[in-house]
Protein backbone atom coordinates (compact mmCIF):
# COMPACT_ATOMS: atom_id res chain seq x y z
CA UNK A 1 0.00 0.00 0.00
CA UNK A 2 1.47 3.38 -0.92
CA UNK A 3 2.53 5.49 2.08
CA UNK A 4 0.77 8.65 0.92
CA UNK A 5 -2.81 7.43 1.64
CA UNK A 6 -1.67 6.05 5.01
CA UNK A 7 -0.42 9.47 6.15
CA UNK A 8 -3.63 11.13 5.08
CA UNK A 9 -5.71 8.50 6.85
CA UNK A 10 -3.86 9.31 10.09
CA UNK A 11 -4.28 13.04 9.62
CA UNK A 12 -7.99 12.79 8.87
CA UNK A 13 -8.42 10.66 12.00
CA UNK A 14 -7.07 13.61 13.97
CA UNK A 15 -9.64 16.00 12.57
CA UNK A 16 -12.22 15.76 15.32
CA UNK A 17 -11.61 19.27 16.59
CA UNK A 18 -12.22 22.69 15.17
CA UNK A 19 -8.76 23.97 14.45
CA UNK A 20 -9.52 26.89 12.22
CA UNK A 21 -7.30 29.90 12.38
CA UNK A 22 -4.28 31.54 10.90
CA UNK A 23 -1.33 29.47 9.89
CA UNK A 24 2.14 30.28 11.00
CA UNK A 25 5.46 28.92 9.80
CA UNK A 26 7.04 26.12 11.77
CA UNK A 27 10.21 28.18 12.15
CA UNK A 28 8.38 30.49 14.55
CA UNK A 29 7.23 27.66 16.81
CA UNK A 30 10.05 25.14 16.69
CA UNK A 31 11.11 25.86 20.28
CA UNK A 32 7.87 24.50 21.72
CA UNK A 33 8.13 21.03 23.19
CA UNK A 34 6.06 18.53 25.09
CA UNK A 35 6.49 19.04 28.82
CA UNK A 36 5.69 16.35 31.34
CA UNK A 37 4.34 17.03 34.78
CA UNK A 38 5.82 16.24 38.14
CA UNK A 39 3.38 13.38 38.46
CA UNK A 40 4.08 9.70 38.24
CA UNK A 41 1.94 8.97 35.24
CA UNK A 42 3.07 7.27 32.07
CA UNK A 43 5.63 9.16 30.07
CA UNK A 44 5.09 10.31 26.55
CA UNK A 45 1.94 11.26 24.71
CA UNK A 46 -1.26 9.60 25.84
CA UNK A 47 -4.36 9.70 23.70
CA UNK A 48 -7.01 11.58 25.62
CA UNK A 49 -9.96 10.17 23.76
CA UNK A 50 -8.68 7.22 21.83
CA UNK A 51 -9.95 8.86 18.71
CA UNK A 52 -8.14 12.13 18.32
CA UNK A 53 -4.53 11.12 18.73
CA UNK A 54 -2.24 12.33 16.03
CA UNK A 55 1.09 10.79 15.20
CA UNK A 56 3.07 13.11 17.43
CA UNK A 57 6.75 12.42 17.62
CA UNK A 58 6.38 9.59 15.15
CA UNK A 59 8.07 9.00 11.87
CA UNK A 60 5.32 10.52 9.76
CA UNK A 61 6.18 13.51 7.72
CA UNK A 62 4.48 15.60 5.12
CA UNK A 63 4.71 19.07 3.73
CA UNK A 64 2.76 21.59 1.76
CA UNK A 65 0.19 24.14 2.80
CA UNK A 66 1.21 25.43 6.22
CA UNK A 67 3.59 22.57 7.03
CA UNK A 68 7.29 22.42 6.45
CA UNK A 69 8.83 18.97 5.83
CA UNK A 70 10.11 19.02 9.43
CA UNK A 71 6.71 19.54 11.07
CA UNK A 72 5.75 15.96 11.88
CA UNK A 73 9.34 15.04 12.75
CA UNK A 74 9.74 17.58 15.54
CA UNK A 75 8.74 16.33 18.99
CA UNK A 76 5.12 17.10 19.78
CA UNK A 77 4.32 18.51 16.35
CA UNK A 78 2.08 17.02 13.73
CA UNK A 79 0.90 18.08 10.32
CA UNK A 80 -2.82 17.89 9.78
CA UNK A 81 -4.33 17.82 6.33
CA UNK A 82 -7.88 18.91 5.73
CA UNK A 83 -9.43 19.31 2.31
CA UNK A 84 -6.10 19.56 0.55
CA UNK A 85 -4.64 22.09 2.98
CA UNK A 86 -2.22 21.32 5.80
CA UNK A 87 -1.28 23.03 9.02
CA UNK A 88 1.42 22.42 11.62
CA UNK A 89 0.08 21.79 15.13
CA UNK A 90 1.56 21.14 18.53
CA UNK A 91 0.07 18.75 21.03
CA UNK A 92 1.11 18.08 24.61
CA UNK A 93 -0.41 15.56 27.01
CA UNK A 94 0.20 16.41 30.65
CA UNK A 95 -0.68 13.57 33.00
CA UNK A 96 -0.91 13.76 36.78
CA UNK A 97 -1.33 10.53 38.69
CA UNK A 98 -0.78 11.04 42.43
CA UNK A 99 0.74 8.24 44.53
CA UNK A 100 -2.51 8.12 46.44
CA UNK A 101 -5.86 9.05 44.82
CA UNK A 102 -6.82 12.59 45.76
CA UNK A 103 -9.70 12.60 48.26
CA UNK A 104 -12.64 14.75 47.18
CA UNK A 105 -13.93 16.33 50.35
CA UNK A 106 -17.50 15.22 51.01
CA UNK A 107 -20.26 17.84 50.94
CA UNK A 108 -17.77 20.74 50.77
CA UNK A 109 -18.51 22.27 47.36
CA UNK A 110 -19.77 25.88 47.30
CA UNK A 111 -19.01 26.90 43.71
CA UNK A 112 -15.41 27.99 44.29
CA UNK A 113 -12.14 26.21 43.51
CA UNK A 114 -11.21 26.62 47.18
CA UNK A 115 -14.04 24.24 48.06
CA UNK A 116 -12.69 21.61 45.64
CA UNK A 117 -9.64 19.34 45.53
CA UNK A 118 -7.27 20.11 42.66
CA UNK A 119 -4.42 18.59 40.69
CA UNK A 120 -1.84 20.97 39.20
CA UNK A 121 -0.60 20.56 35.64
CA UNK A 122 2.51 22.36 34.38
CA UNK A 123 2.34 22.88 30.63
CA UNK A 124 5.06 24.12 28.30
CA UNK A 125 4.98 26.68 25.55
CA UNK A 126 7.06 29.14 23.63
CA UNK A 127 5.23 32.40 24.31
CA UNK A 128 4.05 32.48 20.70
CA UNK A 129 1.59 29.69 20.18
CA UNK A 130 -1.90 29.87 21.66
CA UNK A 131 -4.40 27.22 22.69
CA UNK A 132 -6.81 26.06 20.02
CA UNK A 133 -8.37 23.04 21.72
CA UNK A 134 -8.29 21.23 25.05
CA UNK A 135 -9.32 17.73 26.03
CA UNK A 136 -9.49 16.13 29.47
CA UNK A 137 -9.37 12.53 30.64
CA UNK A 138 -10.25 11.66 34.26
CA UNK A 139 -9.99 8.56 36.42
CA UNK A 140 -12.56 9.05 39.20
CA UNK A 141 -13.96 6.81 41.93
CA UNK A 142 -17.40 7.70 43.29
CA UNK A 143 -20.61 5.86 44.07
CA UNK A 144 -22.86 8.84 43.51
CA UNK A 145 -22.09 10.68 40.28
CA UNK A 146 -24.73 13.34 41.02
CA UNK A 147 -22.61 14.74 43.88
CA UNK A 148 -19.70 15.67 41.60
CA UNK A 149 -18.50 18.88 40.02
CA UNK A 150 -15.35 19.15 37.87
CA UNK A 151 -13.69 22.39 36.79
CA UNK A 152 -10.59 23.29 34.77
CA UNK A 153 -8.69 26.55 35.33
CA UNK A 154 -6.19 27.83 32.76
CA UNK A 155 -2.93 29.66 33.62
CA UNK A 156 -4.77 32.91 32.80
CA UNK A 157 -7.36 32.11 35.49
CA UNK A 158 -10.22 31.28 33.13
CA UNK A 159 -12.50 28.59 34.56
CA UNK A 160 -14.61 26.02 32.71
CA UNK A 161 -17.13 23.87 34.58
CA UNK A 162 -16.79 20.56 32.74
CA UNK A 163 -19.27 18.57 34.81
CA UNK A 164 -21.89 19.85 37.25
CA UNK A 165 -23.87 17.29 39.23
CA UNK A 166 -25.35 15.22 36.37
CA UNK A 167 -29.03 14.51 36.81
CA UNK A 168 -29.89 17.55 38.92
CA UNK A 169 -30.10 21.20 37.92
CA UNK A 170 -27.58 23.60 39.47
CA UNK A 171 -28.44 27.04 38.03
CA UNK A 172 -26.60 29.04 40.72
CA UNK A 173 -23.56 26.75 40.85
CA UNK A 174 -23.21 27.09 44.61
CA UNK A 175 -23.64 23.44 45.59
CA UNK A 176 -26.99 24.14 47.23
CA UNK A 177 -29.51 22.79 44.74
CA UNK A 178 -31.72 19.96 45.92
CA UNK A 179 -31.48 16.39 44.79
CA UNK A 180 -28.83 13.71 44.69
CA UNK A 181 -28.59 13.64 40.90
CA UNK A 182 -27.48 10.52 39.07
CA UNK A 183 -26.91 7.50 41.33
CA UNK A 184 -24.49 5.87 38.88
CA UNK A 185 -20.92 5.03 39.90
CA UNK A 186 -17.56 6.08 38.50
CA UNK A 187 -14.49 3.85 38.46
CA UNK A 188 -10.91 4.90 37.77
CA UNK A 189 -10.46 1.85 35.53
CA UNK A 190 -13.12 3.31 33.25
CA UNK A 191 -11.80 6.82 32.67
CA UNK A 192 -13.98 9.57 31.30
CA UNK A 193 -12.98 11.72 28.34
CA UNK A 194 -14.23 15.26 27.82
CA UNK A 195 -13.99 17.24 24.60
CA UNK A 196 -16.04 19.84 22.76
CA UNK A 197 -18.38 18.29 20.24
CA UNK A 198 -18.73 14.91 21.91
CA UNK A 199 -22.14 13.38 21.20
CA UNK A 200 -23.25 13.11 24.83
CA UNK A 201 -23.52 16.07 27.20
CA UNK A 202 -21.78 15.68 30.55
CA UNK A 203 -25.15 16.58 32.12
CA UNK A 204 -26.53 13.35 30.64
CA UNK A 205 -23.75 11.23 32.10
CA UNK A 206 -25.29 8.31 33.96
CA UNK A 207 -28.69 8.82 32.35
CA UNK A 208 -30.59 5.53 32.39
CA UNK A 209 -28.01 3.83 34.63
CA UNK A 210 -28.91 2.15 37.92
CA UNK A 211 -27.34 2.75 41.34
CA UNK A 212 -24.74 -0.01 40.93
CA UNK A 213 -23.93 0.70 37.27
CA UNK A 214 -20.59 2.21 36.31
CA UNK A 215 -20.37 4.96 33.71
CA UNK A 216 -18.43 3.84 30.61
CA UNK A 217 -18.40 0.20 31.84
CA UNK A 218 -22.18 -0.34 31.86
CA UNK A 219 -24.34 -0.17 28.74
CA UNK A 220 -24.54 2.08 26.75
CA UNK A 221 -20.80 2.26 27.53
CA UNK A 222 -20.55 5.96 26.82
CA UNK A 223 -17.10 7.19 27.87
CA UNK A 224 -16.81 10.52 26.05
CA UNK A 225 -18.72 13.66 26.96
CA UNK A 226 -19.08 17.31 25.98
CA UNK A 227 -18.56 19.82 28.82
CA UNK A 228 -21.83 20.97 30.44
CA UNK A 229 -21.55 23.81 33.00
CA UNK A 230 -25.31 23.55 33.73
CA UNK A 231 -25.25 26.97 35.39
CA UNK A 232 -26.58 30.42 34.58
CA UNK A 233 -23.33 31.85 35.97
CA UNK A 234 -20.95 29.92 33.73
CA UNK A 235 -18.43 32.10 31.93
CA UNK A 236 -17.46 29.38 29.45
CA UNK A 237 -19.62 26.77 27.75
CA UNK A 238 -16.81 24.56 26.46
CA UNK A 239 -13.05 24.14 26.06
CA UNK A 240 -13.19 26.52 23.07
CA UNK A 241 -13.38 29.30 25.66
CA UNK A 242 -9.66 28.76 26.33
CA UNK A 243 -8.80 29.47 22.68
CA UNK A 244 -6.27 32.23 22.21
CA UNK A 245 -4.77 31.86 25.69
CA UNK A 246 -1.15 30.74 26.15
CA UNK A 247 -0.82 27.03 26.99
CA UNK A 248 2.23 27.48 29.21
CA UNK A 249 1.90 27.68 32.96
CA UNK A 250 -0.16 26.02 35.68
CA UNK A 251 -3.50 24.47 34.84
CA UNK A 252 -5.76 23.15 37.57
CA UNK A 253 -8.18 20.25 37.34
CA UNK A 254 -10.50 20.31 40.35
CA UNK A 255 -13.18 17.97 41.67
CA UNK A 256 -15.83 18.91 44.24
CA UNK A 257 -18.61 17.07 46.06
CA UNK A 258 -21.85 18.90 46.92
CA UNK A 259 -23.87 16.36 48.94
CA UNK A 260 -23.07 14.43 52.12
CA UNK A 261 -22.79 10.73 52.96
CA UNK A 262 -21.04 9.39 49.84
CA UNK A 263 -17.55 10.51 48.87
CA UNK A 264 -15.01 9.75 46.16
CA UNK A 265 -11.50 10.27 44.85
CA UNK A 266 -9.67 11.58 41.80
CA UNK A 267 -7.08 8.98 40.80
CA UNK A 268 -5.60 10.43 37.63
CA UNK A 269 -6.06 13.10 34.99
CA UNK A 270 -4.60 13.89 31.60
CA UNK A 271 -4.91 17.32 30.11
CA UNK A 272 -4.31 17.50 26.36
CA UNK A 273 -3.46 20.92 24.96
CA UNK A 274 -3.47 21.66 21.22
CA UNK A 275 -1.87 24.88 20.10
CA UNK A 276 -0.79 26.59 16.93
211 touches Ca ion by CB under 5 A: yes
213 touches Ca ion by CB under 5 A: no
Cβ proximity to Ca ion, 128 vs 212, nearer residue: 212
165 touches Ca ion by CB under 5 A: yes
Rg, Å, the chain Cα set: 19
- Ranges of H-type helices in the chain: 3-13
214 touches Ca ion by CB under 5 A: no
What's the rounded Cα separation, in Å, for the pair 269 and 253?
8
* Closest CB 232 distance from Ca ion, rounded Å: 12
Instruction: Count the site residues for Ca ion by CB under 5 A.
Output: 14
Q: Between residue 177 and residue 196, which ones bind Ca ion under the rule CB under 5 A?
A: 183, 185
Residues in the chain: 276
* Closest CB 170 distance from Ca ion, rounded Å: 5
* Closest CB 218 distance from Ca ion, rounded Å: 11
Across 72-216, the runs of DSSP E, i.e. the strands, are 77-82, 85-96, 102-104, 117-123, 131-141, 148-153, 159-164, 192-194, 200-201
Provide the 8-state DSSP code for 73. Answer: G
Strand ranges across the sheet with 148-153: 117-123, 249-257, 148-153, 159-164
CB contact set of 85 (below 8 Å; sequence gap of 6+): 65, 66
Cβ proximity to Ca ion, 204 vs 245, nearer residue: 204
Cβ proximity to Ca ion, 210 vs 250, nearer residue: 210
151 touches Ca ion by CB under 5 A: no
* Closest CB 104 distance from Ca ion, rounded Å: 8
Which residues make up the interface to Ca ion (CB under 5 A)? Answer: 106, 143, 147, 164-165, 170, 183, 185, 211, 230, 257, 259, 262-263
Amino acid sequence: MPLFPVFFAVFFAACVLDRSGLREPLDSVASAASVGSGGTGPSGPVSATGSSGAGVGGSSTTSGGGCSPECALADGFFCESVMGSSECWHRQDVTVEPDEPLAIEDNNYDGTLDSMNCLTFVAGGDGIRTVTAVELRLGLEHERLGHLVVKVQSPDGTILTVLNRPGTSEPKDDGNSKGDGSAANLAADYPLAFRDGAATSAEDMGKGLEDADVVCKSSPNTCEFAPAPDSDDASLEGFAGFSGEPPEGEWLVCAGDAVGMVEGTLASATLTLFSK
